[in-house]
Every structure is written in C-alpha cells, then in structure tokens.
Structure 1
C-alpha cells in the first residue's frame, strides 16, 4: 500500500482499535468493514472493479443476465425496501426468464427501458408489459421509437429510494442513452461504450465523431471507480470501470482522427436480425408478437 493511503487510514484504524478495546465489538466490526471498502476504493486504479461490485450491491438488488444468441446483457435493479424494479435492455426470447426472476424475488417491475433501438435483437419491453401489469416502457425521445416514457438528457428513472439518471450518448444511434445510478457507482452504457470497444457507427444514424464526443464527455467524465456495464460482450467479459476504459480501450484512447479512421475500416457484416429487429423495436417490440 502506498504511503498516501497509509497516512489516510492510520487515524481510522486507531479509532476502530479503540472501539474494540472498549468492548464495542459491533461498532468495531462495522468500522473494519468500512475500512476494507475504503481501502479497496483507493485501489481501484490498480486492481479494477471487484470492491465496487460489493459496495454497489449493498444498497440495491442487482442481477446481470445474459442472452447468448445476440450476446446481450439485461440488467435488473431493484430497491430492497419498496421492491420497485427497473429492467434494462430486455430481450424477447428471455422474457419468461426475467418474469420468473422478478416473481421469485418478490419485485414489482416499474420500468423496462432500452438504452437504444437495437438492431440485433427484438426488445422484450412490449411482452413484459403484457405479462407484468403496470410496467411502463422507456426509450430516448431521439430514437424514433414508441414507448410510454420518452427520455431526455437529465431525466431520472426512480425505483424506491434509488434512481437512474439519463445521459444522452448518441453516435452508435441518435437515440443512445447511458443510465447512471444516483451515486455514480454504476453506468449502463448500452452500445455506446463496450468493454475494450464501442458500438459500430456504420448504420442507424451512426457517426464516429459524435460517438467519440459522447463517450469522452458523458461517460469518461464519471468517477474512475464507476462500473461500466455494456449492452453486449462477445468475449465473456462482464464489467469494466471508467478508469480501465480511459486507460486501456484500444479505440477510445486514440485521437479523434485515429478513432474515425478505425471505425471507417471495421468492415463488419450486416447484423443478422436488423431487418426484423429495428421495425419491431420501433413499436416497443410488439411487431408480430
């Protein structure tokens, strides 16, 4: 541990040890827990995200779910007290799985939100509304899609005492948003920022310059320890941090000019489901359902 961290922790360690000596074991245990978390937050720049995962899980129910065909992550967040929940980027084929989990945990789904109008899968928001009474759908008002809640930059989605704050992050599509927890410990970046990558910019109003600016101003401006949860991963990775992506992302650590050149030469195939997925997602996933 470096000297600066030791200097900051010595008074706190002494205080906890005094509590233990005085016989207040409960407060001493709580103190050691806080010290552990605090030390790991100091170490984020060196060892990544594991401590922040524990910290974030302490105040909110959180589940990361995976759909293997489109390699899509769906995220469930809920307030332990009110049981109100939000589901991010649900997939049509896994709606029954999500409904079962929500029921098992005794939650009430308040909002099913898409980070953008997806091209590689049909969203599950429309079907979720049919299966879970009272659920509202949400998407950016710049997406061109229909939903109960049309999101703008600066809006908040509340669930119990928690919230997700909306940041417009266009570039992959015009309607991309990043959803950030109120304490800025977690960011759900959709396709704007992936783990060591980013969304493509060669269709659906894509613009490399816009994406570069979105990531740098709206995501890289978050605290370094903020956990990055993308909409997809194709290599088995589950989470990153702002610090890691600012340091190691092979595309977004480049200059704007280099980034534009990289994106122009990806030569990626057309998404297999785009001709079905986009029309369906423009109407909340209810096309032919």
Structure 2
C-alpha cells in the first residue's frame, strides 16, 4: 500500500493519499482547497487513478477540495450521511467499506467533534485516519457544530481505542509538528482521554478549553456543506490556450507533441547557453534564444502576444525560466516537459 502524508501550513491540516500499488487505484483523505494543484500533480506524477475523496467530517478551519478533484479526476465525493451536505456522491454509514484495488477502508462512526465525524480503518487494522475525533495527545473540540464531549469520549474509547495497540493513527490536524501516533500511545498518554480518564474527566477537560472559534469557520462550513463546490465554479480553471498541467513542484508544463503540432502559434524560448547551440545540438524551428542567465535583463525580447514555451536540454533550466516569465507578468507560459532530450526521443522536428 502506498501512503503519502501532505500538510497545509495555513490550517495545520494533514491530507493523505492512499493507493493500491498494483492497480494504482487511490483515495484522497481530507483534501484542502488551496492545495488542489499540489495534490493533483502528485496524483498524476505517481500514476494514480483517484477513485474517491473522503472527508472525515465537515471541517470548520479549511475548505475541502473534494469538488475540484471530482472535476479534474472524475473521483467520487464521500462523506458521512450525518454530515448534512449536498453534492456528495456517496453518503456513508458505519460498517461500509470504501474499496480501491485490493485494499479498502472500513467506516467507523466517531461523532462528538461533529455529528458526522467518521474514522476510516484499513482492512488489516494497521492504520486508521481519525479526522478530528482523536488527535495526537489531544481530541477535537466539542463546543460548536453539534459537538458533544460525552459522545466523543464514547466514540474514542469504543471505536478507536478498540483498534490493535500497534495500529498507526493519522489525524486530520497537528499543531506541533507531530505526524502520527498509535492506539497504545494514545490510550496510555493522551492527557484528555488516556490513562485512567473516565467520561467525567474528559468532559470536564473539554468543557473548559475556552478556545477561540476557527478564523475560517464562516467561510469553511457553508462551503464544506456544499462539498467544496464554489458558488462561482471558475476557480482553478485549466489554461484555455493548451493542455497545461502543474507539476508537484508547482511548475506549469506542457507535452512536447502538442507543442510540435501548434508551434506556429507559440513562442519557443530556448534558454540554453550559446555554446550549446554552436555544436551538434539542434533547436526547434522558429525558436528565439535568450540564455537563462540573461532572461531577467532581456525579458522585453520575449513576445507576449502568444503563449511562451521555454526549452532547454532536460527541462530543468527551462522550468526556472518559466518561473521567471511568470514573475515578469507573462502568465501564458509552460515549460516544455522533458526538454530537448524528450523532443529528440519522440522524433519531433529540429533544425
């Protein structure tokens, strides 16, 4: 099983990609709206087929990216039947199984932070994704969104602490740089619900936290009740001039074959050094030459009336050229994926 843990610093949210390595079928747990481009790029680069986005609950501190991933990947939106949401494709209840490849996740109802909180548990019970129900040495607050401290205590003790001792627990948030824990650790050391704590101890602790409301609650909750569908569905729209995609590093790239077919309507910007073009190296017909080191000072030589495609030997220097172009206000640009090495490998025309 392939597992990737991703982090959104603004909301301290963990997002998880879980995939079957053989079939490449995948699920994405608790995706963040602002991290859609990053997560989508990683899914593509790893060669995964995203079947589902799974939200553990209706979040109050960030907006889910479920709708964006559905639009981009055709994935289905999954959330608890008790969440009160619209636009979901599958409303789940306790005991249901989310299947992907040879693996799957079983749903355990863990309400208390919100009425619709669930925990997703792997088939072999070696890992569980607890959302905000159980955090590392903590637990999700219970003072809004149908929160109920007594109910959360029973959820943790009855549904999460009954997992095997060695089961890895992956929360939806952490505010101190911690990444994962185990059932045994939390059962022993969690200061709110571990050790000899009983329900009265837990509820007394939770009812006296005196925390400020999340800064994004007025935006996040209404948006998440729509499963992240924007009121104006024009955000993260793809480039209209060509099939541009974002890499996991945040670089817009484009396929060489498409560029070859449309090069008369593009500016090909060769950023290799002059000596590289004086030998046996060939170039794309009609390209202009500005070495990467001179690009900032010679930016006015780059036409702005058509999209710009930077190119170099391998695609590495031209990736930086793409960053520079965007910094200088040329937004319709994309790095030539793989550079001239891939161009030659595909047998595309050169002069």
TM class, shorter-length? 0.7 to 0.9
3-state SS of 2:83 partner: coil
Aligned residue runs from structure 1 range 1-289, under 5 A: 60-132=1-73, 134-146=74-86, 147-253=88-194, 254-288=197-231, 289=233
3-state SS of 2:82 partner: coil
3-state SS of 1:183 partner: coil
3-state SS of 1:90 partner: coil
Unaligned stretches of 5+ in structure 1?
1-59
- Displacement of 1:233 in angstroms is 0.1
3-state SS of 1:276 partner: helix
- Displacement of 1:81 in angstroms is 1.1
Post-superposition CA distance 1:13-56 (Å, at most 9, x none): xxxxxxxxxxxxxxxxxxxxxxxxxxxxxxxxxxxxxxxxxxxx
3-state SS of 1:142 partner: helix
- Displacement of 1:287 in angstroms is 3.0
- In 1, distance between residues paired with 2:148 and 2:26? 33
3-state SS of 2:164 partner: coil
Aligned length: 229
- Displacement of 1:77 in angstroms is 0.5
- In 2, distance between residues paired with 1:270 and 1:178? 24
- In 2, distance between residues paired with 1:257 and 1:215? 14
When the two structures are superposed, what TM-score results if normalisation uses the length of structure 2?
0.65
3-state SS of 1:110 partner: strand
- In 2, distance between residues paired with 1:141 and 1:208? 21
- Displacement of 1:255 in angstroms is 1.5
Post-superposition CA distance 1:195-233 (Å, at most 9, x none): 000000000000000000000000000000000000000
Q: Retained in 2: the 8 A contact 1:279–1:287?
A: no
- Displacement of 1:96 in angstroms is 0.5
3-state SS of 2:173 partner: coil
When the two structures are superposed, what TM-score results if normalisation uses the length of structure 1?
0.78
Moved over 4 A (4+): none
| 2:258 alignment partner in structure 1 | none
- In 1, distance between residues paired with 2:54 and 2:18? 12
3-state SS of 1:115 partner: coil
3-state SS of 1:87 partner: strand
Q: Retained in 2: the 8 A contact 1:191–1:230?
A: yes
| Higher helix fraction (1 or 2) | 1
